[in-house]
Structure 1
Amino acid sequence: MVHDFDKQSPMNAQKGTRMSSAPAEAAPEVSISEMITHIRSGRRQSLGDLLQIYRNYLNILATTQLDARLRRRMSTSDLVQETMLAAHRDFDQFRGGSEGELLAWLRQILSHHLSHAIERNVYAKKRDIRREVSLDKVAKRIDDSIAGLSNLIPDPAATPSEIVCRRELAAELADQLAKLKPSYHDVIVYRNLQACSFDEIATKMDIKPGAARMLWLRAIAKFKEVCDVNMAGDLS
C-alpha cells in the first residue's frame, strides 16, 4: 500500500504530547508513548499521523545535509518521503516506546537514506573504498544539525538530562521554524544550521551582506516571538 504523507496532520504539536483530531472542546492530549502503544495494539491507521508530526523535523535535518551536488539529483522532499515510507514499512522493527527513542530511530533511517543517496549520486562513477560514505559521519552531521536547532533557544546552564530533552524539543522547534515566512526560515537555516557567513548568505539570497545580517536578526527575533506564543512553558 502506498501512503500519502503530504497531507496535513490533524495533530497539534506539544512537548511530549499530540492533540487528537476530536473536536477542540473535547480533545484529550495523547502522549507519543500512548500513540506508539495504540499503533502496536492494532491501530495501524494512526501510524501515518504519528509520522506526519515529524515531517518538519526531518525536512530541516535533510535540508542541512543536502549539498549542491545532491540537490541537482534529489530534493529534500524526496529524501524525507523516502524516510517516512521506510519508517512506515519497517515500524515493526522499532523497539522503543518514547518520543526520544522514536526521534533517534527516524534520524537513523534518514542517515541511512542520505548515505545511500550520496553513494548513489555522487560516487556512483568513482567507486573507491576510501571514498565510501561513513554512516557514522552522516549521523554525526545530523546530530550537529539537531544541536544547532536546539541552541536557537540558548540555555548555557543546561544539565545533561536537559540537553536530552532539548534534542526532543528540536522537533517542536522545527514546527515553529516552518511557520516563518520563507526568507526568515531560509536565513536561519543558512546561518544557524549550516554555519554560513553573511557573505555566503548574501550570495545565496541575492542580497547584500549587511542586508543578510539584518534579515537574520529580524528572523531570530520573530522566531523567538513565535516560540514564546506557541510553546509557552515548554522552553522554560
Structure 2
Amino acid sequence: MSSAPAEAAPEVSISEMITRIRSGRRQSLGDLLQIYRNYLNILATTQLDARLRRRMSTSDLVQETMLAAHRDFDQFRGGSEGELLAWLRQILSHHLSHAIERNVFAKKRDIRREVSLDKVAKRIDDSIAGLSNLIPDPAATPSEIVCRRELAADLADQLAKLKPSYHDVIVYRNLQGCSFEEIATKMDIKPGAARMLWLRAIAKFKEVCDVNMAGDLS
C-alpha cells in the first residue's frame, strides 16, 4: 500500500475526503480507496481457502473490488468512514460470491448453485471481529462495536507491516481459526514451533499497534 495516502489521512478526515470528491475532486478517489487496500486484502485472504486460491488470487479479488468502487462511487450515499467500510465490504462480498460461483460451480450443470451474499457477508463480518479482537477492548457498547469495526482497517495496516511469517501465522490462527497442527502443515514447521511463532507474532503485532497509537511509528 502506498504510504502517502495513509500519512495524509490524519490531516484530512475521511468524511472531508468524501465531501471533496463529491464536490468535483474526483482525482482524490483513488487515494481514498487506496487507504483501505490492506483492509480489503485481509478480508479477502480470510475467505479464500486452499481450493479457491488455486482458481483465483487475493490481489485480483481486491483489485476488482477497488475498480468497482471507483466506477460506482456515485452510488455511495454515506458520508462517514464506517459507512464507506460497509459499502466496500458489500462490494467485496458481491465479487467474492460471484468469483466462487464462477470458479467452483461453473461445471455443475445439473443443479444451479449460487453462493448466498448474506453468508459471504457474515463470514467477512466474522473476519472483522477476529481482527478487532487481536487488540482487546473491554468496551462493548454498540457505539464501541462500530468503532472497533473501523479500527479493523487500521489494524490491517499494522498487520501488513509485520514480516511474512508473523503476518501469515496471525491470519491462519486468528482470522481463519486454524489449529496449530494445521498451521504447521501450511508453514512446513512443527506444531510446537507454530505455537511459538504465533506467540511471538502476536507480541510483535501488539507492540507495533501500541507504538502506532502513541504516534511514534516511523
Sort the TM-score into its range (normalised by shorter chain). Answer: over 0.9
Find the counterpart in structure 1 of residue 28 from structure 2.
Answer: 46
What secondary structure is seen at the aligned counterpart in 1 of 2:12? strand
Contact 1:20–1:29 under 8 Å retained in 2: no
Contact 1:20–1:30 under 8 Å retained in 2: no
Q: Tell me which stretches of 4 or more aligned residues in structure 1 moved more than 3 Å.
A: 19-28, 127-131, 233-236
Equivalence map 1:203-214=2 (5 Å): 203-214=185-196
What secondary structure is seen at the aligned counterpart in 2 of 1:131? coil
TM-aligned CA distance change 1:98 to 1:210, over 3 Å? same
Q: Take 2:165 and 2:159, find their aligned partners in 1: how far apart are those partners?
A: 11
- Cα deviation, residue 52, structure 1: 0.2
Q: Deviations over 1:165-189 (max 9, x none)?
A: 0000000000000000000000000
Q: Take 2:151 and 2:174, find their aligned partners in 1: how far apart are those partners?
A: 16
- Stretches of structure 1 lacking an aligned partner (at least 5 in a row): 1-18
**Count, aligned residues:** 218
What secondary structure is seen at the aligned counterpart in 2 of 1:156? coil
Contact 2:78–2:84 under 8 Å retained in 1: yes
- Cα deviation, residue 156, structure 1: 3.5
- Cα deviation, residue 225, structure 1: 0.2
- Cα deviation, residue 235, structure 1: 14
What secondary structure is seen at the aligned counterpart in 2 of 1:226? helix
Q: Take 1:112 and 1:25, find their aligned partners in 2: how far apart are those partners?
A: 30
Equivalent pairs: percent with the same residue? 98
Find the counterpart in structure 1 of residue 117 from structure 2.
Answer: 135
TM-aligned CA distance change 1:185 to 1:232, over 3 Å? same
Q: Deviations over 1:18-53 (max 9, x none)?
A: x99999999971000000000000000000000000
TM-score (norm 1): 0.86
Q: Take 1:50 and 1:100, find their aligned partners in 2: how far apart are those partners?
A: 14
Q: Take 2:22 and 2:104, find their aligned partners in 1: how far apart are those partners?
A: 38
TM-aligned CA distance change 1:95 to 1:53, over 3 Å? same
TM-aligned CA distance change 1:138 to 1:234, over 3 Å? farther
Contact 1:20–1:28 under 8 Å retained in 2: no
Find the counterpart in structure 1 of residue 88 from structure 2.
Answer: 106
Q: Deviations over 1:126-156 (max 9, x none)?
A: 1465732100000000000000000001124
Find the counterpart in structure 2 of residue 55 from structure 1.
Answer: 37
Find the counterpart in structure 2 of residue 185 from structure 1.
Answer: 167
TM-aligned CA distance change 1:130 to 1:218, over 3 Å? same
TM-aligned CA distance change 1:132 to 1:102, over 3 Å? same
Contact 2:61–2:95 under 8 Å retained in 1: yes
TM-aligned CA distance change 1:117 to 1:91, over 3 Å? same
Q: Single out whichever of 154-163 and 105-114 deviates more from structure 2.
A: 154-163
What secondary structure is seen at the aligned counterpart in 2 of 1:22? helix
TM-aligned CA distance change 1:46 to 1:128, over 3 Å? farther
- Cα deviation, residue 231, structure 1: 1.7
Q: Take 1:156 and 1:137, find their aligned partners in 2: how far apart are those partners?
A: 28
Contact 2:5–2:31 under 8 Å retained in 1: no
- Stretches of structure 2 lacking an aligned partner (at least 5 in a row): none
Q: Take 1:171 and 1:24, find their aligned partners in 2: how far apart are those partners?
A: 11
